[in-house]
A and B are shown apart, each in its own frame.
Chain A
Amino acid sequence: MSLVLDAVEIYRNGSKLFDPVSLHVAPGRIITLMGPSGCGKSTLLTAVCGNLDPGFSLSGTITLGGRVINDIAMEQRRIGILFQDDLLFPHLNVFENMAFGLPPRLKPEQRRQRVASALFMAGLEGFEKRDIATLSGGQKARVSLLRTLLAEPQAILLDEPFSKLDRQLKESMRAFVFQQIKRLAVPALLVTHDIDDAADDNILELSSGSYHA
């Protein structure tokens, strides 16, 4: 299943943010969009996600697995998103945060198992009952990623996901994220202003100009 952007442009109150973007993200691949702050790269992610604010408009087509998703509601796109903040829900513990996005068809025993094996994979074995406030920054980032992955998304968007982590943590978290994306074979789109965050696959500079990948 690929994520395809075909001549996507975004307008704010009629004025264009950047020249048309066309790209093709194959399953398990990560394309990095770079550009200075304010160039519209995060806005492009909100558009792919389906959360454009009123006042913005979109032209071109966004296709996921061959299906045009331009006019599909955000909750039906099955596109997961990760921010620089973990946005873990403070009223739920680690297990509940992660189980939150699991598909409803799973039985309680299966839910427990999926969360347990995801935690094991992230080196957080036995963390189920922990209050998220007691986790370190790196642990929160991993739980947040696992929550997104457990919802079985068909594509993943990463909005400066490592920018709040310190240098050492950034390196290991980056490796962990990329490894998971390859393992699940979902297409991913990453925006950042920091070249160190970028994936090796493919890097795009976003400014005014037309790009193809």
Chain B
Amino acid sequence: MAGQSRSPLQFFPYLTLAAFLVPVLLGLAGTWLPALGYLPTIGAKSFTLQPWRDLLDHPSLPGALSATLVSGLSATLLSVFISLWITTHLYKTASWSYIERALAPLLAIPHAAFALGLSFLVAPSGWLIRLVSPWLSGFAHPPDWSITGDPLAISLTITMIFKEVPFLLLLTIAALNQLDVRRTLWVGRSLGFQEFKVWTRLIIPQLYPMLRLPVLTVLAYSLSVVDLALIIGPSLPPPFAVLIDRWFNDPDISMRLVGGAGATLLFLLITVFITIFLLAERIVVMLSRPLLTNGRRRSPLGRMNQGARLAAITTMAASVLSFVLLVIWSFTGSWRFPDAYPQSLSLFYWTKSLPLVAGPLATAALVGVLSACIALVLVLGCLENERSLPQSRIDALSRGSIWVIYLPLLIPQIGFLFGIQTILVRLHLEGSWFSLVWIHLVFVLPYIFLTLAATYRTYDQRYAQVAAILSGSPLRSFFRVKLVMLAKPILFSLAVGFAVSIAQYLPTLYVGAGRFSTITTETVSLAGGSDRRVIAVYALCQFLLPFLVYALAIGLPALLFRNRQLMKN
């Protein structure tokens, strides 16, 4: 497919850029203008700094900001620390293969479903307290503690850590595959260095640059998350992003200007913190450089294998227990406090809820399939187009474009969705399938690109050339040989994209204009005060879709190529 001077493929990079950058940039502009007092749809047409004055005077602002900053920063730093700690202490030990196998299912659990399950575990009326009541704790009623929704946002922080550690571990494993870890450990240890020292001096300095952008996405996400914060975060005041969301949906439409100012402030805050992280990385590198070669070979920190194992087990146990509790609650008839087990089981809540979730499930699945498939076509087009370029330009492009690809993941969603909504209303496109699929595409596309690009670029193109010569058709070679050989990574990237789409909460709300409810928007909206049994059914349904698709993406190639030894890698 390469080499033709006028290949239609050359339009793919532009098309792709337009597909996911135009909405982001327009959305940002559409949010900044109201922040300056300009929002014609509500009759505000003069530029003024009044929204900023209102924002800064708002009584909830200091509390909301501190909840956001404390939870977001500590969740990011702790997630990075814990995932590196687990890696340095457990890499290639007996526990490591369990960790590797557990990651995909852990990541398949949507954030919302996980947070709900976790709240069933740790809430004052949750299972952990039921286990020790009343024989140990003496509680005949749930204690009056604020564990979930605590004002310091500790439970929100912990929930984010549980979800971010597996994410960072997965990317760490991918990055380590590009380094010669085995022989670096060998050389380092034969020079007399304890394994932990080899990690901190030789491997992490090479690893972190590859994790830099994922870490920044974790930072941006933790500082701007809405759905998790609604489920398990503090409410009076809520984290800043939730407060902004409330302002945008305030019955008093003039609050939209304050929302615009808030969204802009959050965008600026995240930009500032990303800059601080990048600067801090440089400073750490600068200060630690002389230490790298001081020759010290041992460190007491190197002997904390047990702690690392505990951290890994806790992360997994939290997910497994949350999931099990969701299953139990969904089949519960009645379950009074402080019993550790339900008094009766029943199918009632499944049969009652299934007709209600069928619609939202179908909507979510359809949007997920459409956005993932469109994104895949765009990504394949871009990657295939790359091959017509000289290698030096590909390297430059992949270095330069990586920040662009990450952009939608680094900008807070609440920072540009309102702007998109305003523009869609102007164009009479709000609440249409077209715009809903498009906005999902914005978030799905980066993930598909990031999961697929590395494998796709290392494909041995000679297979495709041989096939093209044999079949006389580059197209047939592409579809019959290249795509089939790459079926496994392609299907996996589709599954990742689909799961990302399913989990979208804010984009669906802001662009759907109330006309679309997906399983995720329904589940989050129930979280506030509904019956646990209903919530459990919804949360499981939310988990069901990505789970099925991941299973398909992993199982299908294994089944199709079961007699092909060389397709197993």
Contacts and interface: CB of A to CB of B under 8 A. Distances in A.
A73 to B, nearest CB: 8
B180 A87 contact: yes
A49 B190 contact: yes
Interface stretch (B21-29, B288-296, B460-468): B288-296
Contacts of A18: none
Interface in B165-199: 180, 183-184, 186-187, 189-195
A51 B297 contact: no
Interface in A89-144: 89-92, 95-96, 99-106, 111
Contact of B297 (A75, A90, A111): A75
B401 interface: no
A83 B187 CA distance: 9
A74 interface: yes
Interface in B252-309: 289, 292-297
A81 interface: yes
A99 B190 contact: no
A43 to B, nearest CB: 13
A75 B189 contact: yes
B206 interface: yes
Contacts of A96: 289, 292-293
B40 interface: no
Interface in B337-395: none
B285 to A, nearest CB: 9
Nearest to B205: A91
B202 interface: yes
Interface string A42-63: 0000000111000000000000
Contacts of B201: 100
Nearest to B195: A75
A102 B190 contact: no
Contacts of A73: 189
Contacts of A50: 189-190
A51 B184 contact: no
A105 B296 CA distance: 9
B295 A80 contact: no
A51 B186 contact: yes
A78 interface: yes
A101 B194 CA distance: 12
Interface class of chain A by DSSP: loop
A75 B293 contact: no
B184 A100 contact: no
Contact of A91 (B186, B191, B206): B206
Interface string B401-418: 000000000000000000
A87 B184 contact: yes
A151 interface: yes
A101 B295 contact: yes
Contacts of B293: 92, 95-96, 99-100, 102, 111
Nearest to A78: B192
Interface residues of A, number: 34
A79 interface: yes
A172 interface: no
A90 B179 CA distance: 10
Contacts of A100: 191, 201, 292-293, 295
A81 B205 contact: no
A76 interface: yes
Given A75-B297, A104-B294, A87 B187 contact: yes
B184 A99 contact: no
Given A83-B183, A87-B183, A104-B297, A92 B189 contact: no
A78 B192 CA distance: 6
B303 to A, nearest CB: 13
Contacts of B195: 75
A81 B182 CA distance: 14
A103 B194 CA distance: 14
Interface string B510-544: 00000000000000000000000000000000000
Contacts of B289: 96
B180 A75 contact: no
A185 B160 CA distance: 57
Nearest to A86: B187
A75 B184 CA distance: 13
A81 B297 CA distance: 17
Nearest to B289: A96
B184 A106 contact: no
A106 B293 CA distance: 11
Q: Which of A147, A148, A151, A153 has the most CB of B within 10 A?
A: A151
Nearest to A97: B293
Contacts of B202: 89, 91
A151 B206 contact: no
A105 B192 CA distance: 14
B206 A90 contact: yes
Nearest to A147: B191
B295 A75 contact: no
B292 A75 contact: no
Contacts of B189: 50-51, 73-75
A81 B294 contact: no
Contacts of A76: 192
A75 B194 contact: yes
Nearest to B293: A99
Contact of B295 (A77, A79, A99): A99
Contacts of B183: 83, 85, 87
Nearest to A54: B94
Given A51-B189, A101-B191, A92 B292 contact: yes
Interface of B: 180, 183-184, 186-187, 189-195, 201-202, 205-206, 289, 292-297
20 contacts: A51-B189, A74-B186, A74-B190, A75-B194, A75-B195, A80-B191, A87-B184, A89-B184, A91-B205, A92-B293, A99-B295, A100-B201, A100-B295, A101-B191, A101-B295, A103-B295, A104-B294, A104-B295, A148-B191, A153-B190
User: Lowest 10 A-B CB distances belong to which pairs?
Assistant: A104-B295, A101-B191, A99-B293, A74-B189, A75-B189, A91-B205, A151-B191, A96-B293, A81-B190, A104-B296
